[in-house]
């Protein structure tokens, strides 16, 4: 009986001893954090900005109606390739054609009147020239008759000629004076008639100019009944049918859209880049474009346009057009040209562009998840540090530092400030603070965000056990 109790007591002592040892081990490990580690490695990095949008031609034109009327003919269909100047459609032109014919008839009449007036002006000028010649001849005769009259007057005073001879000379002189006066009167009259004819000619010429302007106007209207292609391209949108009535645009209403012609020689991906990434986008940066409708295909392109106006993500309107102040997310338009667009590409297809903003060759890099932020106050592990009361010290303790935790001596996690460069998909460039092959904490994510400086760690880099399904 005594030996049985001895055995029971011995077993209890053994159990208590074992529990104490296990409890001591557990107690000693209560502050040990299990972590995963990696090393600082050299690799090639590329910073990529991803943005979504849609495929658009670089140049496209919406052809609207320039004159009201019924579509009498549509000569193309959606998907057709057209050349600049090619006739695409016709609008009923009966009234405009009649207006052109009327203006042409009016122009012919005005030109005939002008020709008649011009002939009259020429005849009037010829008549004036003839009258002027007659006047000059009459003036010469008047001078001759005047001299003869003056000689006869002297001779008559001396009694050398009879009175009849003197009177005859006087009559001839008076008659010639009357002839000169009449010639002057005829010239004045002819000049007045010529001025009138010239006024008629000027009026006819003005009517010609006015009629020509009217003919140009109605001819332009008639021309606008024929819808022609303004550029080489592809008919990408044709919303109308033959027989429909189209109208031109007015102040508060857009013109009827007859069709859209797109120049597919330059196809672009118009994407919206987040405002935090737009500062890294530059012209001619390379990009990879994927189109949702063409899976497993990647197209190469480059940036050709960067928008300067922020676009509100919720409404799609320019931020400058918003009447209220808003802190909501904004995007910027970026246009990426496809270097070799495929034939099956279509405007409006959804796409994604991955723009490479920077590249680095053979640089030190660490996983992005290893990077964390701590304040200077968090890094001070002194047990007996006095409470900070100096405002400068309080401000300094709140300063944030970016860095990683490395595994130091005695398995302690030590925070180390690092300088970083560009970010890749999963890794980030290290420009200072670490050396190649330095051991750093890379996980778990929650541990890296909460671990204290100089905490004791246990490294466990074994991959997690696969989940079993029942």
Q: What is the CATH number of domain 266-360?
A: 2.40.30.170
Question: Which residue numbers in the chain have pLDDT < 70?
Answer: 1-31, 251, 322-326, 382-388, 464-470
Residue-level pLDDT at 14: 66
DSSP string for residues in 351-392: EEEEEEEEEEEEEEEEEGGG-EEEEHHHH---TTPPPP--HH
Residue-level pLDDT at 389: 72
Q: Order of strands across the sheet with 245-246? A: 226-228, 87-91, 69-74, 245-246
Q: In terms of Cα–Cα distance, which of 79, 345, 349 is closest to 237?
A: 79
Q: What are the residues whose beta carbons fall under 8 Å from the beta carbon of 361, sequence distance 6 or more?
A: 44
Residue-level pLDDT at 10: 64
Residue-level pLDDT at 404: 94
Give the span between the Cα atoms of 410 and 305, in whole angstroms: 56
∠ CA 448-451-454, rounded to 5°: 120
- CB burial of residue 35 (10 Å; 0-12, 13-18, 19+): buried
CB 66 within 8 A of CB 199: no
CB 82 within 8 A of CB 76: yes
pLDDT of 155-194, one tens digit each?
778 877 888 887 787 888 788 788 888 888 888 888 888 7
State the pairing for strand pair 257-274/69-74: unpaired
What would the two tokens of residue 91 be? 């609008």
Give the span between the Cα atoms of 196 and 200, in whole angstroms: 6
Residue-level pLDDT at 187: 82
Q: In terms of Cα–Cα distance, which of 378, 369, 419 is closest to 399?
A: 378
Give the span between the Cα atoms of 270 and 221, in whole angstroms: 37
Question: Tokens 């299990």 sit at which residue?
Answer: 34
Residue ranges of domains in the chain: 32-43+363-459, 96-221, 266-360
Residue-level pLDDT at 314: 81
What would the two tokens of residue 290 be? 């994927």
What would the two tokens of residue 184 be? 């002057």
Q: What is the CATH number of domain 32-43+363-459?
A: 2.40.420.20
Give the span between the Cα atoms of 235 and 77, in whole angstroms: 7
What would the two tokens of residue 153 be? 């007057």
Q: What is residue 285's three-state secondary structure? A: coil
Domain 96-221 indexed as CATH 1.10.287.1700 = yes
Residue-level pLDDT at 385: 61
Q: What's 318's DSSP letter? A: B
Q: What's 344's DSSP letter? A: T
Q: What is the number of residues in the chain?
A: 470
Q: How far is CA 82 from CA 87, 187, 241, 338, in A?
A: 9, 69, 18, 22
Measured distance between the N- and C-terminal CA atoms of the chain, rounded to whole angstroms = 52
Residue-level pLDDT at 27: 42
Q: What's 21's DSSP letter? A: H
Q: What are the residues whose beta carbons fall under 8 Å from the beta carbon of 108, sequence distance 6 or more?
A: none
């Amino acid at each position: 009986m005594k030996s049985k109790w001895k055995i029971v007591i011995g077993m209890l002592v053994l159990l208590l001893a074992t529990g104490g040892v296990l409890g001591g081990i557990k107690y000693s490990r209560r502050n040990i954090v299990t972590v995963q580690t990696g090393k600082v490695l050299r690799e090639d990095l590329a910073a990529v900005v991803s943005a979504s949008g849609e495929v658009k031609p670089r140049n496209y034109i919406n052809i609207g109606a320039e004159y009201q009327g019924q579509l009498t003919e549509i000569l193309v269909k959606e998907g057709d390739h057209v050349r600049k100047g090619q006739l695409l459609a016709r609008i009923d032109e009966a009234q405009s054609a009649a207006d052109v014919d009327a203006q042409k008839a009016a122009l012919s009449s005005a030109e005939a009147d002008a020709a008649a007036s011009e002939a009259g002006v020429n005849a009037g000028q010829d008549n004036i020239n003839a009258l002027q010649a007659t006047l000059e001849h009459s003036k010469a005769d008047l001078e001759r008759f005047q001299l003869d009259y003056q000689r006869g007057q002297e001779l008559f005073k001396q009694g050398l000629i009879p009175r009849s001879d003197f009177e005859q000379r006087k009559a001839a002189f008076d008659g010639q004076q009357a002839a000169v006066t009449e010639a002057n009167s005829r010239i004045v009259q002819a000049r007045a008639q010529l001025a009138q004819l010239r006024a008629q000619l000027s009026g006819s010429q003005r009517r010609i100019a006015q009629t020509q302007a009217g003919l140009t106007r109605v001819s332009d209207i008639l021309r606008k009944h024929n819808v022609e292609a303004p550029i080489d391209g592809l008919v990408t949108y044709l919303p109308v049918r033959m027989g429909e009535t189209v109208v031109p645009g007015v102040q508060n209403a857009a013109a009827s859209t007859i069709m859209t012609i797109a120049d597919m020689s330059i196809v672009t991906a118009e994407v919206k880049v987040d405002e935090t990434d737009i500062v890294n986008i530059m012209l001619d940066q390379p990009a990879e474009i994927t189109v949702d409708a063409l899976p497993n295909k990647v197209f190469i392109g480059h940036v050709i346009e960067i928008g300067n106006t922020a676009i509100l993500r919720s409404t799609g309107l320019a931020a400058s057009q918003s009447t209220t102040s808003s802190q909501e997310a904004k995007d910027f338009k970026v246009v990426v040209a496809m270097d070799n667009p495929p034939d099956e590409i279509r405007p409006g297809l959804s796409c994604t562009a991955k723009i490479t903003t920077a590249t680095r060759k053979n640089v030190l890099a660490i996983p992005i998840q290893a990077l964390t932020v701590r304040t200077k106050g968090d890094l001070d592990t002194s047990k007996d540090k006095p409470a900070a009361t100096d405002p400068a010290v309080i401000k300094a303790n709140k300063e944030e530092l970016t860095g990683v935790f490395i595994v130091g001596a005695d398995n302690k996690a030590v925070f180390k400030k690092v300088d970083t460069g560009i970010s890749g998909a999963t890794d980030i460039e290290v420009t200072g603070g670490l050396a190649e092959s330095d051991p750093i904490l890379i996980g778990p994510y929650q541990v890296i965000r909460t671990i204290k400086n100089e905490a004791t760690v246990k490294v466990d880099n074994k991959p997690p056990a696969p989940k079993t399904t029942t």
